[in-house]
Amino acid sequence: MEVVIPSKRRLLLIGGSLAAVAAPALLSRSTFAKEKAGAKSKETRKKDEEVTPPEDLMREHGVLDRVLLLYEAGIRKFSSNEDFDPALITQSAEIIRDFINNYHEKSEEEHVFPRFKKAGRMIDLVDTLLRQHEAGRKITATILKLAPSGRSSADDRKQLIGAMQSFITMYRPHAAREDTDLFPKLKDVVSSSEYDAMAEDFEKKEHELFGEDGFERMAARVAQLEQRMGIFDLNQFTPHG
Ligand SMILES: [Fe+2]
Ligand SMILES: [Fe+2]
């Protein structure tokens, strides 16, 4: 398009018959290009709005990682006897239960893991990941049970810290393996139409469970908890000097 307009101007300056012949051709070429660009941009827009299955799962891991940071901050506060609202731990664990254990991991278990099993690829890894999901659900239940009494009972606090720590210890490598070893291979074990259908299934389920802006709302809930926990300002993690 950038090339067409100056050359069209140049041709019109030449005047006479050449312009008369060339201009309609240029105009139709320009119109065609415009139509093509319009159609393409519509298509690109649709594609832009679509989140691929690995991208979808990885950004959910981002939410998971931010909750792990909340757990770590809670552990630090407990360890330094700094008083804080135990509801912050409960609300963090609720996000894990609802968004990670009952949604993200269900997507992996229903859509991702069976494809690898069927293809006979990374069976051991998938088995371990499955066992970790089970263990994760149990730890989340423990965290939810102990969080309310974590401030008043030293014994519960100790167990709560242990549960949060073991959750962090398991999930950091769990999510990292999925991001680097499993998700990048997803395209090898599904057809491109299955891949697209999977993306739609993920989106549909997310909207069903958490509303139209499910992911954004979940990220905003995490950000609010970070603010209340005092870890929202990213600058605090930059080393000075
Ligand atoms: Fe997982
Ligand atoms: Fe995951």
Range of the domain at 72: 53-230
Q: Could you tell me how far CA 52 lies from the centroid of its own chain?
A: 10
The total domain count for the chain is 1
Asked whether the beta carbons of 53 and 186 are under 8 A apart, the reply is yes
Domain-embedded: residue 125: yes
**What's the 16 CA to ligand 2 centre distance in angstroms?**
68
Residue 209 belongs to some domain of the structure: yes
What confidence score (pLDDT) does residue 168 get?
Answer: 98
Residues whose CB falls within 8 Å of the CB of residue 21, separated by 6 or more in sequence, listed in order? none
Q: Is 240 helix (H, G, I), strand (E, B) or coil?
A: coil
Q: Is 41 inside any structural domain?
A: no
- Yes or no: say if 78 and 150 are a contact pair by the CB < 8 Å rule: yes
CA proximity to 222, closest of 96, 86, 138, 103: 96
d(CA 160, CA 150): 7
CA angle 154, 158, 162 (to 5 degrees): 165
d(CA 42, CA 121): 37
Dist. CA 178 → ligand 1 center (Å):
7
Distance in Å, CA 106 to ligand 1 centroid: 9
Determine the residue type at 215: F
| Residue 10 belongs to a domain | no
Compute the distance from residue 234 Cα to the ligand 1 centre, in Å.
27
Instruction: Tell me the whole-structure pTM to 2 decimals.
Output: 0.80
Domain membership of residue 15 (yes or no) is no
In a domain, 224, yes or no: yes
pLDDT at residue 231, rounded to an integer: 97
State the pLDDT at residue 212: 87
Determine what percent of the chain is predicted with pLDDT higher than 70: 80
pLDDT in tens, 15-31: 334 444 444 444 444 44
| Domain CATH code at residue 164 | 1.20.120.520
Q: From ligand 1's centre to the CA of 203, what distance in Å?
A: 18
> pLDDT category, 241, cuts 50, 70, 90?
confident
39 within a domain of the structure (yes/no)? no
